[in-house]
A and B are shown apart, each in its own frame.
Chain A
Amino acid sequence: MSHEDTPKGAKITFQVDGRACEGFHHESLLGALRRLGFEVPSLCFHEAVSTYGACRLCLVEVQKGRKSRITTSCNFPVTAGLQVRLDTPAVQQNRKIVFQLLLAKAPASPEVRALAAEYGVHSTPYKVSEEAKDNKCILCGLCARVCTEVVGANAIAFSGRGSHKDMVAPYDEAAEACIGCGACVEVCPTHCIGLRETPEIRTIEKWHRDLPLQKCEKCGRPFAPTFQLMTLGKRVGMKLSDFKVCNDCR
């Protein structure tokens, strides 16, 4: 069967460092490697959302036929007969530089520093600019993908391009469409979004979003942003009044 005829998801075998492994046609190579227990670093991949290919850490070498080349594995489709090599010298060299670039971009992120250290990279020869000094965001885009693809709120997006690219709320003002669910906060690999709560208000810091919290009618505890309850309620055709009790008291 030529690979065009293989149905997506069909069971196939491929090789990792010479070992035969099972995978599914056209699944993410990184996903497959993870499932098989191989270690590959990554910062912009999450099973629940589409792949993006931003962090360039998940590098591997692949060979189909005679040609061998270096590629990111998250967005590389597994096919029958594919040969994958993990820690080749070319992979190590390029990965080192990617880490060095990330250290210069997000020097304030303990997560980036820790992961780099795991791979033996402790410092960067590249310039840390004034603006980058306190930065943690690596522009991996996971927050926006989760917000759009999983939450469905579409509250945040990249702005600008090239070196002006940034992850911000629209116009860098309060993200009006943000329901304060915190999914982006959870998924952010550098924990740089920030969620704060007082008894009255939940704040998603990076998106400048303050959301009043709904208090449970029974126990009086604040349990979720009112706007979140309204929005999700609207989607399933329920009114806010149907949501006035927290999960514990239900």
Chain B
Amino acid sequence: MANRIKSVSDLEVYRKKLLAARDPKRKTVAICTSGCTAYGSMKLNTAFREELRRRGLEQKIDIKLTGCHGYCERGPLVVIHPAGIFYQRVKVEDVPQIIERTLLKDELVESLLFKDADGKPCPHEDDVPFYKHQMRVLLANNSRLDPTSLDDYIALGGYQSLAKALSKHTPEALVKLIKDSGLRGRGGGGFPAGVKWESCRKAPSADGVRYIICNADEGDPGAFMDRAVMEGNPHLVLEGMIIGAFAIGHPGDPRGYIYIRNEYPLAVERVGIALQQAREYGLLGKDILGTGFSFDIKVNKGGGAFVCGESTALMASIEGDVGEPRAKHIHTVEQGLYDKPTNLNNVETWANVPLILERGLEWFTGIGTGDVKDNPWGGSKGTKIFALVGKVNNTGLVEVPMGASLRDIIFKIGGGIIGGKKFKAVQTGGPSGGCLPDSLLDMTVDFDKLSEAGSMMGSGGMIVMDESTCMVDVARYFLHFLAEESCGKCVTCREGLVQLCVIVDRICAGQGKAGDLELLEELGNTVADASLCALGQTAPNPLRSTIRYFREEYERHIRDKRCPAKVCKALITFSINDKCTGCTICAKKCPQSCISGEKKKLHTIDQSKCIKCGVCNDVCNFDAVSVE
């Protein structure tokens, strides 16, 4: 094959050649064509190309279609390299201006710049508060490379870590390096990756077969960090997996797997392209970089259920069975896929591996909390990507060092609560994470602190809630989600979650009874302690954490039949107060036609017909509708 790189030194030669052919001053327009396509970023691509062609500039200026830059809320995003000028909410009409002024004359198009809270324009990515307080390591190259170009990745130093691993390290030394780094699994449990690698390497296998798998199922609603890495920088994940395979002692056959969520067609496509290119270049497949080490990877599309992301369910699903978890008393590193020793890591976990090799142990252990010397559980090292969503001003993907505080993430990076409302809680860790109150805002975010507080790191979901949120209703929502997503195998999870839903439903419906809280706590404990897999074991987290931190709110629902946040419909009433001017708008809009009154006179609501839809409150301009 023409492009095949035959040795470690040839990789360096090839990289130098690439760099020599690239002018670092050459202007490049980087357009996010990940989620931003939903806001029309492909049209921007066409517009840029046409406009450049019209002006005869297509040979002078490059266009790069990149993965997600993280600040999706401001999409479509366009970054002009090498200056790093950051344009947001770019429209097709803006294209000629950008070319005319920024690309040709090095001027800024002020209207497209982000303005900070004081109205000051931020020309570069690093000036934008959303980015300024982040530490973008894993996502650093997402706005710099075309994910379908292996040359881009190599030019930025890609596969150097693999070359280093294969030529300068023994597999044992690599395992030790990852162990010493304190890298912990980013997919849920925070299990030290090096410890897992070591167990898998040592596990007996009669025919030597070992499986290497990447968990890219990402089933948490609202989470998209793994997707962003795969769509934006797929080779980073592949490189991590190949290094891992070498360290773990993969015999060259059979292939490893990337188990990608079914709803991620673009990730499947981009990873597929990356695999093909890596094979062509001799970075994957037989005799990688001429070192004699062989390893290949295959994409497996997910089974479509949240629970399929659980390790044993995932393996059952690859084997073609129903994605149901099994007991892990014999670990999957000993008997996993097809009963062979299997090493499963999350996308983000794998993506960290090349960086640790590239920048070294000290760099990695210098980021984060605790001390991992001699104890991989002793802290949380490196960065973590969070999907920040909910009632914050800046939503998107946020990469911070472990140990950043919730306050920094939500207020400095997230820009605080929408509409200046009060912060109420943040749920970390996905649907089975806990909800943490404002008294914990200064808590540092790491694996152990989050668990102590009754939540978890999970895969890095972060949902911010404001004062208008009812915490009982939140628990109710997640319990229902998890009851639906339970595989239904074990009684405690299947029946337990259904019964928790029944009790919380009745509390929200105003039929809570004395003793319900205790019943919830008792049942929650058993669901957590006696269920088979981590779905059931963590499912009571949203419930238990809200009881722990917002007990009074439950009591108000049960005892006083009141919902303080005015969310639970059965517990609120709408009435019209004397601020009413008799404008009649609400009467016209009420879907139940249950508001009556003469023009310019006080209106009244017929409570027996009111369905508490809130429309009257929304339409009244005089603050005359009271909700109690």
CB pairs A–B below 8 angstroms (12 shown): A52-B489, A55-B491, A56-B490, A75-B327, A90-B529, A94-B526, A94-B530, A97-B496, A97-B523, A101-B492, A162-B494, A164-B488
| Residue B619, interface by CB 8 Å | no
- Apart from the given pairs A5-B204, A101-B496, A161-B487, 9 other A-B contacts in the complex at a CB distance below 8 Å: A4-B204, A4-B334, A26-B330, A53-B532, A54-B489, A70-B530, A94-B530, A97-B496, A126-B523
B494 engages A77 (CB within 8 Å): no
| Those of B439-481 within 8 Å (CB) of chain A | none
Best-buried of B489, B495, B523 by chain A (most CB within 10 Å): B495
Give Cα distance in the complex from A197 to B490, angstroms: 34
Q: Mark B505-548, 1 if CB is under 8 A from A, else 0.
A: 00000000000000100110010011110000000000000000
Task: Compute how far the CA of A56 lies from the CA of B490 in the bound complex, rounded to whole angstroms.
Answer: 7
The 8 closest A-B pairs by CB, nearest first: A165-B488, A101-B495, A75-B327, A97-B526, A162-B486, A126-B499, A94-B530, A127-B502
A48, B203: Cα distance in complex, Å: 29
User: Judging by beta carbons under 8 Å apart, are A54 and B491 in contact?
Assistant: yes
Most central of B327, B502, B530, B531 by chain A CB within 10 Å: B530
Q: Please state if B485 and A162 are interface contacts (CB–CB under 8 Å).
A: yes
Q: A165: shortest Cβ distance to chain B, in Å?
A: 3
B507 shortest CB reach to chain A, Å: 13
A158 contacts the other chain (Cβ, under 8 Å)? yes
B528 to chain A, nearest CB (A): 10
Q: Is A188 on the interface with B (CB-CB < 8 A)?
A: no
Question: A5 to chain B: which residues have CB within 8 Å?
Answer: 204
Is there an interface contact between B487 and A97, defined as CB atoms closer than 8 Å?
A: no
Q: Is A151 an interface residue (CB 8 A)?
A: no
- B628: Cβ under 8 A from any A Cβ: no
Given contacts A54-B489, A101-B492, contact A158 B498 (CB under 8 A): no
B305: Cβ under 8 A from any A Cβ: yes
Point out the residues of chain A lying under 8 angstroms from B486, CB to CB. 161-163
Q: Size range of the interface on B?
A: 35 or more
* Contact among A26, A76, A101, A160 with B491 in the assembled complex (CB-CB below 8 Å): A101
Q: Find out whether the CB atom of B491 lies under 8 angstroms from the CB atom of A102.
A: yes
For the complex, what is the distance from the CA of A70 to the CA of B497, rounded to whole Å?
Answer: 19
- A1-38 contacts to B, CB under 8 A, are 4-5, 26
B267 within 8 A of A: no
How many angstroms between the C-alpha atoms of A27 and B97 in the bound complex?
74
Complex CA–CA separation, A127 to B489 (angstroms): 20
Q: Is A192 an interface residue (CB 8 A)?
A: no
Report chain A residues within 8 Å CB of B307. 161
Q: When the two chains form the complex, which single residue of B203, B498, B519 contacts A163, counting CB atoms closer than 8 Å?
A: B498
The residues of A that contact B519 with a CB separation of less than 8 Å are 125
Residue of A nearest to B526 (CB): A97
Q: Assess whether B329 is in contact with A56, with CB atoms less than 8 Å apart.
A: no
CA distance A26 to B335 in the complex (A): 13
Q: Verify if B402 is at the interface (C-beta below 8 Å from A).
A: no
Q: B534: shortest Cβ distance to chain A, in Å?
A: 14
Known A-B contacts A75-B329, A97-B523, A163-B483; A104 and B495 likewise in contact (beta carbons under 8 Å): yes
> Which residues of B lie under 8 Å from residue A56 when comparing CB positions?
490-492, 530-532
A98's partner among B202, B485, B491, B502 (CB-CB below 8 A) is: B491
Roughly how many angstroms separate A232 CA and B497 CA in the complex, as a whole number?
43
CA distance A162 to B203 in the complex (A): 34
Contacts of A59 in B (CB 8 A): 530
Tell which of B489, B495, B502 touches A53, judged by Cβ atoms closer than 8 Å: B489
Query: In the assembly, what is the distance between CA of A90 and CA of B530, in Å?
Result: 10
Chain B positions within 8 Å of A126 at CB level = 495, 499, 502, 523
Q: Which residues of A contact B (CB under 8 A)?
A: 4-5, 26, 51-56, 59, 70-72, 75-77, 90, 93-94, 97-98, 101-102, 104-105, 125-127, 138-139, 141, 158, 160-165
Known contacts A53-B532, A104-B499, A163-B483, A71 near B329 by CB under 8 Å: yes
Interface: B116 (CB within 8 A): no
Contacts of A162 in B (CB 8 A): 483-488, 494, 497
Within the complex, the shortest CB–CB distance from A41 to chain B, in Å, comes to 13
Q: Is the CB of B494 within 8 A of A94?
A: no
Whether a CB of chain A sits under 8 angstroms from the CB of B83 is no
Report Cα–Cα, A56/B483, bound state, in Å. 17
CB atoms of A102 and B495 under 8 A apart: yes
Which of A5, A139, A162 is most buried by chain B, counting CB atoms within 10 A of its CB? A162
User: Closest CB-CB distance, B456 to chain A, in whole Å?
Assistant: 18
Known: A4-B204, A70-B529, A125-B519. A77 touches B330 (CB 8 A): yes
CA gap between A97 and B529 in the complex, in Å: 11
In the complex, the answer to whether B526 meets A93 with C-beta atoms within 8 Å is yes
Q: Given A70-B529, A98-B526, does the pair A163, B488 have CB atoms closer than 8 Å? A: yes
B611 is an interface residue with CB less than 8 A from chain A: no
Name the residue of chain A whose CB is nearest to the CB of B515. A125
Chain B residues in 8 Å Cβ range of A71: 329
**A101:B499 contact, CB within 8 angstroms:** yes
Nearest B residue to A91 via CB reads B530
Measured between beta carbons, the chain B residues less than 8 angstroms from A90 are 529
Q: Report the separation of the CA atoms of residues A98 and B490 in the bound assembly, to the nearest whole angstrom.
A: 10
For residue B329, which residues in chain A have a CB less than 8 angstroms away from its CB?
71, 75-77
Contact of B92 with A by CB under 8 A: no
**A161:B488 contact, CB within 8 angstroms:** yes
Name the contact of A4 in the complex, choosing from B203, B327, B483 (C-beta under 8 A). Answer: B203
- Does any Cβ of A come within 8 Å of B322's Cβ? yes
- Specify which of B330, B334, B498, B502 lies most central, judged by the most chain A CB atoms within 10 Å of its CB: B498
Contact residues in B for A105 (Cβ distance below 8 Å): 491, 495
Tell me which residues across on chain B come within 8 A of A93, comparing CB atoms: 526
**Highest count of chain A CB atoms <10 Å: which of B483, B491, B497:** B491
What chain B residues lie within 8 Å of A164 (beta carbons)? Answer: 488
Q: How far is the CB of A109 from chain B (nearest CB, A)?
A: 13
Q: Within the assembled complex, what's the spacing in Å between the Cα atoms of A94 and B530?
A: 7
What are the residues of chain B within 8 A of A55 when measuring CB–CB? 490-491
A161–B491 touching, CB < 8 Å:
no
Asked if B330 and A160 make an inter-chain contact with CB atoms under 8 angstroms apart, the answer reads no
CA A54 to CA B297, docked complex, whole Å: 35
- Flag if A158 contacts B322 (CB, 8 Å): yes
Give the residues in chain B near A77, CB-CB below 8 Å: 329-330
Is the beta-carbon distance between A53 and B490 smaller than 8 angstroms?
yes
**In the assembled complex, which residues on chain B have CB atoms less than 8 Å from the CB atom of A161?**
305, 307, 485-488
- Chain B residues within 8 Å of A138, by CB: 491
* Nearest A residue to B487, CB-CB: A161
Alpha-carbon gap, A77 to B335, bound state (A): 13
Distance in angstroms between the alpha carbons of A139 and B495 in the assembled complex: 11
In the bound complex, do residue A94 and residue B529 qualify as a contact, i.e. CB atoms below 8 Å apart?
Answer: yes
**Which one, A70, A97, A165, contacts B494 given CB within 8 A?**
A165
Distance in angstroms from A8 CB to nearest chain B CB is: 10
Residues of chain B with a CB closer than 8 A to A70's CB: 529-530
Q: Is there contact, CB below 8 Å, between A72 and B327?
A: yes
- Closest beta carbon of chain A to B304's beta carbon, Å: 11
The docked-state distance in angstroms from the alpha carbon of A52 to that of B334 is 19
A19 to chain B, nearest CB (A): 22
What is the CB-to-nearest-CB distance from A246 to chain B, in angstroms, rounded to a whole number?
A: 39
Given A53-B327, A93-B526, A94-B526, is A72 in contact with B487 using a C-beta cutoff of 8 Å? Answer: no
A127 to B513, CA, bound (A): 13
With A and B bound together, what is the CA distance between A73 and B327 in angstroms?
11
Q: Closest A-chain residue to B536, C-beta based? A: A56
Smallest CB gap from A102: residue in B? B491
* Shortest distance between the CB of B302 and any CB in chain A (Å): 15
Given contacts A125-B519, A158-B322, contact A98 B492 (CB under 8 A): yes
Could you say which residues of chain B place their CB within 8 Å of the CB of A141? 489
Chain B residue with minimal CB distance to A97? B526
Q: Hey, which chain A residues are within 8 Å of B526, CB to CB?
A: 93-94, 97-98
- A74 nearest in chain B by CB position: B327
Rounded to whole angstroms, the CA-CA distance of A104 and B492 in the bound complex is 12
- B487 shortest CB reach to chain A, Å: 5
Residue of chain A at shortest CB distance from B516: A125
